[in-house]
Every structure is written in structure tokens, then in C-alpha cells.
Amino acid sequence: MCISPKNPFLVRSARPGSLILPKPRSPANSVRFHRVAAVAAARATAIDLSDPEWKLKYQRDFEERFNIPHITDAFPDAEAIPSTFCLKMRSPTYINNKDRVLLKVINYSSPASAGAVCIDPDCTWIEQWVQRAGPRENIYFRPEDVKAAIVTCGGLCPGLNDVIRLIVITLEIYGVKNIVGIPFGYRGFSDKNLPEILKVVQNIHLSGGSLLGVSRGGPTVTEIVDSMEERGINMLFVLGGNGTHAGANAIHNECVKRRMKVAVVGVPKTIDNDILHMDKTFGFDTAVEEAQRAINSAYIEAHSAYHGIGVVKLMGRSSGFIAMQASLASGQVDICLIPEVPFNFHGPDGVLKHLNYLIETKGSAVVCVAEGAGQSFLENTNAKDASGNKVLGDIGVHIQQETKKYFKEIGVAADVKYIDPTYMIRAVRANASDGILCTVLGQNAVHGAFAGYSGITVGIINNHYAYLPIPEVIAYDKSVDPNSRMWHRCLTSTGQPDFL
């Protein structure tokens, strides 16, 4: 097995009734990871593997957790009417409510397999299905009675306007005429007048940003639902990340508590690609593509200078997907640093020692670092932003300064350039891949609302679109698995050692 004995991510051997889980991934994430691991292990150990029906019981538990809320849960007598969505096909077909999408597609034969997460020592295969997304033959809202609202929260992300546009267009196809935008995130619910957006969306996808504006924080859930009730909003489409989705789920629960017939549907928006279970989130492909431009610039600067070193900092608070995939795609990165994999700057196996080796052997080097990497080296101010996220230190500037200091101390000339393209990447228009993803997500969000589902989000899973209950996608951030084939591919591309 070609793995460094220092690697802290080796999967531990299984014990009956326990999940095969990696060790905590970094000091910054250890509390979160232990909480998640404990929850997952508790679910596994609650099942007696000596029970011949344990597999069936495990499946039932999964089905209960991934069952998505429906209007009829609170309103059993809610009337289903024929869909007003016109499928322009020779033989119109709809999605059956019993259609499912397989959540996990790899049948691991051993806990030692790359990326394996097993329920028992034999890695028993258990089918896990989630609800297929798409238009239903029957709907639970009359279009003429619908007042729909769209809100975009958090930061900018390529594709926001694309999703807004398709939500509006699909609502219009159903026959909805009353569509408003909530300006600048949840705080817009406090505004007296909400803009109607039916007639202004046709070409908004041709530019980046958000037609509605974005912000963090906002009123309380009670105040938001009060505003919805006062305005007669009975469909709410929420575009945002984990925190925004937590808010959407709280809004859904408050509406259920008040017995309001409202559909609350989320569309995951996180450029970091850190939403659970999804293949990817919109804006991610565009971010990787744009990040390569920054990496290429750093490479040219470094390659053209005497002992040149280019440092590029990319998005990724707790997940290093952008840095990993941009490094892999560019083929120009020598060192990739992500939050999930701890590293040392100094010492015989540190990053700086390897940079010196690269300067001696290649004459130049490129470092790509995710913004959340190496936070243990920076001062912890305990400051938080309006969304409650920890304010990160600037690891890119730290690497630049430490690199200059190191080479000065050893008497080697080094020309260190630092590039931070964060805001340039966030503000661009979605590329073709993300444009298609946004189109289908926007359509399926509306289909889910009209089908009577609420407290759900929509995403792509194994190249198929599915509905998931919000709590299951916000339990914790999806992160790069250091045992995964993708991370190993990245290491093969960079050629970097273990920095521990």
C-alpha cells in the first residue's frame, strides 16, 4: 500500500455495528467532524448486525430520514388538480411520485477501497433511493391563486440570474402571473414594496451577479413568515447555501406550525460545492474554469522570473473542491493546500522546504491554496460575519510573507507573486455547463412546489435530478475526502509530498 505512514486519513478497521470513518480532518474542523461521525455511528450501532433483518431496518431508517414533506401532511384534504404545465412533446409524460434516484452507486467490496464508507466489516451493499425531480401529472396549487417570491442570499455566485430566470419562466408556463423578488436576501422581507419581476428576466442570464441583490443575515423567522402571510406569498424559492437553507427549513416549519399552505423550495447556491449528496452545485464549474486563468497567470509570472513563485488563493472555507479541481485541470500547480489536509510550513517535511527544492530543480513553483486552509497558523479573532460564519485569516498573504521571509533567511533570491481572484470569479457569468444546470434546477424547483412539496431542495445526484429534505443536506459541509481517488489524482498531478 503506497501511503505515507504519516497520513492521518487512513480508514480504521471496522468493528461490528460501526461505520468505517476517517479520523478528524483538521483541527479547525474536528468538532464538526466528531459531531457528524458520532451521529453516523449512532445510527449504525443502533442496528444489531446479528439481526437477520438489520439491512431492512437500516433501509427503513434511511427512507424515514429522506422522506420529503408534502402539503397533504398538514392538509390531508388538499385537492389535487391536473397539471397546467404543458409538455411540448408528441406523447406528454410526467414523473411518477414513486420514481427514485439511487444515492450511492459504488458497491465497495472492502473497507480498504478508496473512499469507502461501510456500515459493516463486509461493506454490505444497501440501496439508498431519493425522490426523482420533475413535473407531476397532478398539482396542488391553482396558478391563479399563487403569489410566488424568489430570494437570493449569501454571496454572489455564477448562475444566480440563470436560476431566477428559469424559475420565473417556468412559473409563467404553469400560468402564474404574480411573481415578486425579495431584494437583498432575507432582509428584503422588511421592505414595504416588493418588485414584480415577471417582465424583466428575459436577458438577465447574460450577465453575472443577482438581479435581486444578495446579503447576509436579516429578520427573524417569525418576522419573515409574518411578511409572507401579510402579502399572501404561498410559494417561496430560496437560493443560498447551508445557512440560507437552514433559514428556509425554519420558514417551512413555521408555516406548517401556522397551518399556512405554503411551498418552500431551496436551490443550493454554494460556489465551494460543499452541499451534501449533490454531484455539484451551480457556479462550481464556472469557478474552476475561471480559477485556471488565475493559476495560468501565476505560472507565467513565476516561470518568467528568476526563482519565481506564484501563490493563488481560491474560494473554499471548509472544502477544497475548487482548489483541488482547478489544480488538477490546469496541470501547472506544484503545491495544492486544502482545509481537509493539514500541513506544516516549516521543518524538513514542510511546504517551504519543498518550495526550495522546486526552485533548485525547476527554477519556479506555483502554489494553489483554498482560503480555509492553514487557519491554525493564523490569529484567531473569533469574529463572525452576518451569517454566523467565522471570519477567516488571509492564508494567501501569510504564505507570501512566510515564503519571502524563509528564502531571505537561507540567502536565496525569490520573487513571490500573490493573486487573489475571489471577487472576479464570483461575479462572472455562468459558463455553458453551469447554464444548463441552472436551467434544470430552476425548472425542477417550480415543479416541486406545484407538486405540493415543501421544506425541500433540488439537486443533481449521479447525473439525475432529485428532491431532498433540507435537514439532510445541511447536517454539515461536504468536504474533500483525502482518501478519494480525486485527491490522489491531484497529488499525482502536483507531485507534492506529505507536508507533515
Cα separation, 337 vs 163, in Å, equals 32
In this model, does residue 145 exceed pLDDT 90? Answer: yes
In this model, does residue 16 exceed pLDDT 60? Answer: no
Paired with 417 in beta bridges are 310
Residue type for 193, please? Answer: N
Residue 184 pLDDT class (50, 70, 90 cuts): very high
Residue 200 pLDDT class (50, 70, 90 cuts): confident
Residues 6+ away with beta carbon under 8 Å from 181: 149, 150, 151, 164, 188, 194, 195, 196, 197, 211, 212
Residue 32 pLDDT class (50, 70, 90 cuts): very low
Burial of 3 (0-12, 13-18, 19+ CB in 10 A): exposed
pLDDT of 336-379, one tens digit each?
A: 999 999 999 999 999 999 999 999 999 999 999 999 999 999 88
270 annotated as a binding-site residue: yes
Residue 205 pLDDT class (50, 70, 90 cuts): very high
Residue 327 CB coordination number (10 Å): 34
Q: State mean pLDDT over 106-125.
A: 86
Q: Cβ distance 189 to 225 under 8 Å? A: no
pTM for the full model?
0.88
426 annotated as a binding-site residue: yes
235 annotated as a binding-site residue: no
pLDDT > 90: percent of the chain: 75
Q: Cβ distance 486 to 288 under 8 Å? A: no
Nine cell digits for residue 29 = 474542523
Model pLDDT, residue 67: 94
In this model, does residue 37 exceed pLDDT 50? Answer: no
Measure CA of the first residue to CA of the last residue in the chain; give whole Å.
19
Cα separation, 264 vs 234, in Å, equals 8
Residues 6+ away with beta carbon under 8 Å from 73: 256
Q: Cβ distance 332 to 299 under 8 Å? A: yes
Question: Parallel, antiparallel, or unpaired for β 263-268 and 456-461?
Answer: parallel
Of 460 and 217, the one with more pLDDT: 460
Positions annotated as catalytic residues are: 272
Mean pLDDT taken over the chain: 88
423 annotated as a binding-site residue: yes
* Positive/negative CA dihedral, 338, 343, 349, 350: positive
pLDDT of 2-12, one tens digit each?
A: 333 333 333 33
424 annotated as a binding-site residue: yes
**Structural domains of the chain in order of their starting residue, each with its CATH number:** 1-65+111-126 (no CATH), 138-281+430-461 (3.40.50.450), 284-427+482-494 (3.40.50.460)
155 annotated as a binding-site residue: yes
Residue type for 68, please? Answer: I
188 annotated as a binding-site residue: no
In this model, does residue 36 exceed pLDDT 70? Answer: no
243 annotated as a binding-site residue: yes
Model pLDDT, residue 126: 87
Q: What is the 3-state secondary structure (H, E, C) of the chain?
A: CCCCCCCCCCCCCCCCCCCCCCCCCCHHHHHHHHHHHHHHHHHHHCCCCCCCCHHHHHHHHHHHHCCCCEHHHHCCCCCCEECCCCCCCCCCCCCCCCCEEECCCCCCCCCCCCCCCCCCCCCCCCCCEEEECCCCCEECCCHHHCEEEEEECCCCCCCHHHHHHHHHHHHHHHCCCEEEEECCHHHHHHCCCCCECCCCCCCHHHCCCCCCCCCCCCCCHHHHHHHHHHHCCCEEEEEECHHHHHHHHHHHHHHHHCCCCCEEEEEECCCCCCCCCCCCCCCHHHHHHHHHHHHHHHHHHHHHCCCEEEEEEECCCCCCHHHHHHHHHHCCCCEEECCCCCCCCCCCCCHHHHHHHHHHHCCEEEEEEECCCCHHHCCCCCCECCCCCECCCCHHHHHHHHHHHHHHHCCCCCEEEEECCHHHHHCCCCCHHHHHHHHHHHHHHHHHHHCCECCEEEEEECCEEEEEEHHHHCCCCCCCCCCCHHHHHHHHHHCCCCCC
Residue type for 425, please? Answer: I
315 annotated as a binding-site residue: yes
242 annotated as a binding-site residue: yes
272 annotated as a binding-site residue: yes
Residue 91 pLDDT class (50, 70, 90 cuts): low
In this model, does residue 93 exceed pLDDT 50? Answer: yes
Paired with 81 in beta bridges are 139
Residues 6+ away with beta carbon under 8 Å from 53: none
In this model, does residue 44 exceed pLDDT 60? Answer: no
Residue 81 pLDDT class (50, 70, 90 cuts): very high
Nine cell digits for residue 143 = 396558478
Model pLDDT, residue 215: 93
